[in-house]
Amino acid sequence: MARVTVYSTGSCPYCTKAKQLLQKWNIPFDEVRVDVDKSALREFARVTNGARTVPQIVIDGKCIGGFTELTELHMEGGLDELIETNSGD
């Protein structure tokens, strides 16, 4: 299974929706709260190439974007491909 990280804050409704969708699709993920940890905020900036909005979803080190991009990727079948491609690692 691909390693999925969701960078989020506690007050972001789109973060909550993205995490709920990943749970619904049985995709395990790690959540990194950038609003409570300064080192997480620095990691977020580095990994997402300076993104300023949350959520940001990262799959095996590749930032796919936020909630909208996550749902579009899923609807197009690309999310399954990303997850399955890396499942043998």
Structural domain that includes position 48: 4-85
- Residue located via tokens 């949350």: 54
The reported pTM is 0.89
Count of Cβ atoms closer than 10 Å to residue 34 Cβ: 24
6-28 pLDDT, tens digit each: 999 999 999 999 999 999 999 99
- Please determine, for residue 79, whether its predicted confidence score (pLDDT) is greater than 80: yes
CATH of the domain at 54: 3.40.30.10
Alpha-carbon gap, residue 50 to 33, rounded angstroms: 16
Number of domains in the chain: 1
35-78 pLDDT, tens digit each: 999 999 999 999 999 999 999 999 999 999 999 999 999 999 88
